[in-house]
Structure 1
Amino acid sequence: MSAHGPATPVRGAPCWVSLMARDLDSAQEFYSAVLGWRFRPASLGEEFSVAVAEGQPVAGIGALAQSFQVAVAWTSYFAVENADETADKIRERGGTVAVGPLKLGPGRAALAADPDGATFGFWEGQTLAWSVGRGAAPALLELRTRDAFAAAIFYAEVFGWASGDPDGCDVTYEHDQVLVREGTHTVATLRGGAVESAPDPRVRPRWHVHFPVNEIEKVTAATVAAGGTVTPVTPTADGEGRQAVIRDPDGGLFTVTSY
């Protein structure tokens, strides 16, 4: 992930997304061809880069999948004040901490999983100026899980959502989904079973990253040409746009969305 910049992120809010890749050059080649990103070196070392679109930071790529012995995947990171305390909270509430917290540049990072197995990261320190749904950043971070209400309780206890702190995130439950807001701005969505309904065993819990695109057919064609796979284009959950799920050649899964 990125670790240098002028911004102090809101506690508990998503603060970055990063691809855990096997090879930096091949990953950059794919995402440049499909999404038109350019890349610049990150402050964390030669294994990291920052994707840039329209002059703004979008996401990070780190060639760490092999060294950490994890699958290639897009990871959503959340801002915390103390990484060690956050790790303790995760373990106390039935989650796992797989990597870290470890020192990365001027900050500290860790990889974890919630009780249902959805992987996420957390970051202690400053970040680049970046927020979900604004500018070139991802349009949406979405947790698809078996029980959105139970997941919301876990993340609220870990990240301090809905604590009443004006410097934190609030949570609302609308139409069988949990919305995480920074002020009036939605920064994450948790979707799953309705309140008091049985969890859906068919759902594989996962945080999904949605990147905005203008011409979705052009993007899906470029995906196939670059060696990735893509699902058929479908309407978005709100019915106002279209989306497709893409898997890069190494298995990294993400969604592209156009409105």
Structure 2
Amino acid sequence: MPTRNTPWPDGTPCWIDYGASDLDATRSFYGRLLGWEYEGGDPEYGGYLTATRNEEAAAGLGPLMNPADSPGWTTYFATDDAQATAARIREAGGSVVVEPMEVGPMGTMAIAVDPQGNPFGLWQSGRHTGARIYNEPGALVWDEAAVEDPQAARDFYAAVFGFTFDEVPGGEGYTTFAKGGDPLGGLGGHQPGSPKGWTVCFAVSSTDDAVATVEAGGGTVTMAPTDTEYGRFAVVEDPWGAPFSVMQVPSGS
């Protein structure tokens, strides 16, 4: 079971959370789908919940900070210095919509938007180091961005995080990004009818079962289960229209 209990390296997608319009219904939907249990919910943290799998932190769920926003997932990138990263975001043409703020002893967060309008977060670890389980059914396995101008996005994220990019053979311009090691995620051009911006992919033990659970819970399938060289993959939306994907991986991988 891949786990981590230390801060993630700078620039690594390290945490995800969900802004919910109906927190109770959302926790029930994802609990059934991903086998999550929950802890937290303290009023001092706005009712924010930590979703756990095998007693390890996998993701967060909380009420929408702005009720006018649509429910959905946010990808957070690890940073050693949230203030310095926020400054690079502005210098590269992005904007910081929630300035770096301490979340008690847990760490420091910020929310930003890239020049093409795609939101993402920053997380500077304190007591909370980010996801403690990954690449395991019920946990995050991949983050990727679908953008209108891939080259401009690569320039922006390289300036902010120091990413380098490698094109995936046969991927129609899709690239992975890294910082001198294994790929950390992907970036490609947006296709009409597909999710735009940063989206998350969860590992599951059966993609077909996961899709059936999504539909039974009121969600929809936007790309039916498909076999790829990386695993059986599907794109779905939850009952509130938030997109995400699922990828079948061997249990215990």
Q: Do Structure 1 and Structure 2 share a fold, with TM-score over 0.5?
A: yes
**Per-residue deviation at 1:204?**
6.4
Match of 1:80 in 2: 79
Match of 2:19 in 1: 20
Match of 1:111 in 2: 111
| Superimposed CA distance per residue, residues 131-150 of structure 1 (whole angstroms, 9 cap, x where no aligned partner) | 75467531111111233332
| Superimposed CA distance per residue, residues 186-227 of structure 1 (whole angstroms, 9 cap, x where no aligned partner) | 22111228xxxxxx7887641110001112222222222222
1:207 to 198, 202, 205: 198
What TM-score comes out, normalization by structure 2 length?
A: 0.82
Q: Conserved in 2, the CA contact under 8 Å of 1:149 and 1:178?
A: no
**Per-residue deviation at 1:30?**
0.8
User: C-alpha separation between the residues in 1 aligned to 2:41 and 2:167?
Assistant: 37
Number of positions where the alignment pairs a residue of Structure 1 with one of Structure 2: 239
1:222 to 210, 213, 226: 213
Match of 2:55 in 1: 55
Q: Conserved in 2, the CA contact under 8 Å of 1:144 and 1:192?
A: yes
Q: Indicate whether 1:39 and 2:38 are aligned.
A: yes
Deviates more, 1:107-116 or 1:124-133: 124-133
Do the aligned partners of residues 134 and 220 (structure 1) sit closer, same or farther apart at CA in structure 2, a change above 3 Å counting? closer
User: C-alpha separation between the residues in 2 aligned to 1:54 and 1:125?
Assistant: 22
User: C-alpha separation between the residues in 2 aligned to 1:222 and 1:6?
Assistant: 31
Unaligned residue ranges in structure 2 (runs of 5+)? none
**Per-residue deviation at 1:129?**
5.4
User: How many percent identity over aligned positions?
Assistant: 34
User: C-alpha separation between the residues in 2 aligned to 1:6 and 1:54?
Assistant: 14
Do the aligned partners of residues 218 and 201 (structure 1) sit closer, same or farther apart at CA in structure 2, a change above 3 Å counting? closer
Q: How does 1:155-234 map to 2 (within 5 A)?
A: 155-162=157-164, 171-175=165-169, 176-181=173-178, 184-192=181-189, 205-234=196-225
**Per-residue deviation at 1:73?**
1.1
User: C-alpha separation between the residues in 1 aligned to 2:225 and 2:219?
Assistant: 18
Match of 1:249 in 2: 239
List structure 1 segments (4+ residues) > 6 angstroms apart after TM superposition. 200-204
Do the aligned partners of residues 8 and 241 (structure 1) sit closer, same or farther apart at CA in structure 2, a change above 3 Å counting? closer
Matched letter for residue 188 of structure 2: R
Matched letter for residue 213 of structure 1: V
User: C-alpha separation between the residues in 1 aligned to 2:100 and 2:52?
Assistant: 27
Do the aligned partners of residues 114 and 129 (structure 1) sit closer, same or farther apart at CA in structure 2, a change above 3 Å counting? closer
**Per-residue deviation at 1:96?**
1.8
RMSD (CA atoms): 2.8
2:153 to 148, 151, 154: 151
User: C-alpha separation between the residues in 2 aligned to 1:121 and 1:246?
Assistant: 22
Q: Conserved in 2, the CA contact under 8 Å of 1:152 and 1:178?
A: no
User: C-alpha separation between the residues in 1 aligned to 2:70 and 2:161?
Assistant: 25
Unaligned residue ranges in structure 1 (runs of 5+)? 163-170, 194-199
Do the aligned partners of residues 134 and 223 (structure 1) sit closer, same or farther apart at CA in structure 2, a change above 3 Å counting? closer
| Superimposed CA distance per residue, residues 168-192 of structure 1 (whole angstroms, 9 cap, x where no aligned partner) | xxx4344333222355432211122
Deviates more, 1:238-247 or 1:6-15: 238-247
User: C-alpha separation between the residues in 2 aligned to 1:204 and 1:255?
Assistant: 10
Q: Indicate whether 1:90 and 2:92 are aligned.
A: no
Matched letter for residue 155 of structure 1: Y
**Per-residue deviation at 1:10?**
0.4
Q: Indicate whether 1:64 and 2:64 are aligned.
A: yes
User: C-alpha separation between the residues in 2 aligned to 1:205 and 1:124?
Assistant: 26
**Per-residue deviation at 1:74?**
0.5
Q: Conserved in 2, the CA contact under 8 Å of 1:24 and 1:48?
A: no
Matched letter for residue 189 of structure 1: G
